[in-house]
Structures are given as structure tokens and as C-alpha cells.
Structure 1
């Protein structure tokens, strides 16, 4: 049972990670799924995606929840029936959930060279200047995670990563920073923090009130 680790963000917020070492059949025997989740699982063409989906349910069970406690709104955002806020992410070898008393978003991304090539499509590429290649990969991946995490919190159609979400300058050794969402004539302030787990960037964000 490879529950990997808990990362405590504050008194009411924690991230839980599952390292995926099981195969599909092992997972499937251990989780209980409602009918809508079974249908969703059957529609997934990739076993990696299926395992990520099931590992999230294993994390829920580890925390004394189940698939029956989880539901999605019309925009695809997950919620827990007890009123706690939940955010979900998975990438290849890991699944992650964040549970909090306040709205937060999480993103988990594997580090890949390609992120530097596509960086100008979603961020200000000048933020990668004067960095060695490894750090360019890490920083671009974190910035993608910042934008993805904020998008998961706001969850509104029409939000563009390059046009509406802006991270303020930060260094990789800061492990945290600030960002803005400028959308629909509003400017909202967010905090984020990040760390690296194996070959992955793990980012979470929450809105400043």
C-alpha cells in the first residue's frame, strides 16, 4: 500500500500523495466506485489514466472517505459532501489530493524538457532567462502548476493562462510566491508554494482575502 507522504500546508490544509506501483486489477479490487465513476473509468483509454483515477480513490479511502463522498459540479470541479474543499491532480507515477477548509488548487507535473520549448505559449519566457537548463525546466513546470492551480480554484470558462494569470518574479529556492488573476475586469491576488517530489513539481495555490 504505497501511500507516499502527507505534506502539511497549514492547520487546516494538507496534501496527500500516492505513489502508483499497483496495476489496474490490484487497484480495482480495492476500491468501491459509484456507477458514474465506473462509467467514467471505462471510458478512459489509457491504463495510466485509469490508475491515476483509482489511486485518487485509494487516497480518499486512506483518509476515511470514499468515492461516494466525492462529486463534481457542472464545471467538472470536485467537491466533498462534508463541505471540505478538495483539489485533485495526477501525473504518471503519482496521484495527489489536497484537502482544506478553504478553496485551494493543486497541480502535480512531471519534469520534462519539452516544457521549456512550449513555455512562451503560457508564460513570460523572460522569467527563464539566465537559468541553467535543469532550472529552466523546473521553473517553467512550477509556473505551469501555479496557473493550473489558480485555474482550478476559479474554475471559470474563458480564463487563459498567458492572458489572465501572472506570477510575480520568484526564485526556485523561495519555494513560494504570489500571483494575480486578471479576469472579467477584476484583479485577484493569490499565494502559491511548491516543492519537488522525485522528478515532479508539486504546486498549490490559494486566494488572498
Structure 2
């Protein structure tokens, strides 16, 4: 099973990344799904999404959990029955799970030029240090998107806006850490941010 990388940013948090090389059949044989999860994966029209879903269950097993230990609240946020914090992501051929005693969020995205087309939808404060003439523009945009998606996942509050409420502090090429804020309804929340790149993908995770 291709566990791609394990990261421990602190003593309370572990990130595991999976490279999805197995077939749908092999992944299905490797996991034991509760009925709701089985119906969900069988109802997916894309095999890529099915394999992403199943690889996340493989990652849960790497942590020592079963699919039965995972549930979702009314906002779609995942939880573990033992009270540990969890966040989940998958994109194309990679998936990742972060589990912590702290509030966390994670996202993986493939680096693609078309992110520049939607930049105006999620960039505001970041325009002060980012412009499309920067050589690593697509990589920086992808990192910012991943950070804001991570914040959105951990905050999980209807009405939260990437553009209006999430701010990513400047970082340089080669950096692997920064700070981000959620400024929402006159309250400010600070998060430590970590990110990495591999095989044309970016992964970012936020820890409160």
C-alpha cells in the first residue's frame, strides 16, 4: 500500500499522505466500509473519486481507525468517535488525512494554470504581495487556495468567505510555514500554516 509520506509537525498532530496507484477493485478489497459509506462510494460516477474516497479509508487504517470510527456532522465536517480532530482531502492521485488533539484542516490541490482565472474570487489582502508577473505565481496561488480551503474546513461555518474572511500572511518561495487568520464577525482567529509540494501538487494544513 503506497503510504507516500508521514509528517509530524508537533507532538499532537500527524499528517499522512497517500499516492493512489491501486485500482478501484484493489482499494475496495483493502477496506471494510459501513453501509452508508458503501452506498456513497457505489453511487459515485467517477472512478477517480471512488479511488480517492477509498484511499482515505486506507489512510484511516494507517492511523489505526476503521471507517466505522468516522462520522460527519450536519455541515459535512468529519469527526472521529474518540474525539480526536480530523480533516480529509483528496485530489486526482493523492489523498491526505490529518489527525490531531488540536483543531486542524488540510487540503491538496494539483498545480494548474487555470487557477489564475479564478484568483479574483479568493484573493484580496494577498494582492498586496502577489502579482501575475511572479515566476512562481501558479504555485503561490495554489498554496493560498490550499491554505484557505484548510481554514474553511476547520472553521466549517456557513457564510465564511475565502476572499473576505481568510487572510494568508506573506511567504516566499521555499518557505514551508506561514500564519493565517480568519477575521469573522468581529473576531480574529490565528492559525499556524504548513505546506509542501510534490509531483506537481501542493498540500497545506492549518493548526489552531
Q: Give the structure-2-normalised TM-score.
A: 0.94
- 1:160 is matched with 161
Q: Which residue of 2 aligns with 1:203?
A: 204
For 1:28 and 1:55, the matched residues in 2 are separated by 9
Match of 1:40 in 2: 40
Structure 1 residue ranges without an equivalent (≥5): none
Aligned to 1:116: 116
Q: Out of 188-197 and 156-165, give the one that drifted further.
A: 188-197
Partner SS state of residue 128, structure 1: coil
- Equivalent residue for 1:177? 178
- Secondary structure of 1:76's aligned partner: coil
Give the structure 1 partner of residue 134 of structure 2.
131
- Quick one: distance in 1 between partners of 2:114 and 2:69? 37
Q: What is the RMSD of the two structures over their aligned residues, measured on CA atoms? A: 1.2
Separation in 2, partners of 1:190, 1:3: 27
1:54-100 Cα shifts (integer Å, max 9, x gaps): 00001111222110111111111111111111110000111100011
1:193 aligned residue: 194
* Partner Cα distance (1:66, 1:92) in 2: 23
Q: Structure 2: how far apart are the matches of 1:34 and 1:60?
A: 14
Compute the displacement of 1:40 (Å): 1.2
Please report how far the alpha carbon of residue 126 of structure 1 lies from its aligned counterpart in structure 2 after TM superposition: 4.6
Question: Which residue of structure 2 aligns with residue 60 of structure 1?
Answer: 60
Q: List per-residue Cα deviations over 1:124-146 (Å, max 9, x = no partner).
A: 345332411xx111100000011
How many residue pairs were aligned? Answer: 205
- Work out the CA distance in 1 between the residues paired with 2:11 and 2:53: 27
Q: Kindly report which structure 2 residues correspond to 1:77-96, keeping only aligned pairs within 5 A, or say none.
A: 77-96=77-96
Normalising by the residue count of structure 1, what TM-score does the alignment of the two structures yield? 0.94
Distance 1:168 1:2 in 2: 34
Aligned residue for 1:88, secondary structure, equals: strand
Runs of 4+ in structure 1 displaced over 4 angstroms? Answer: none
Q: CA deviation at 1:104?
A: 0.6
Gaps of 5+ in 2: none
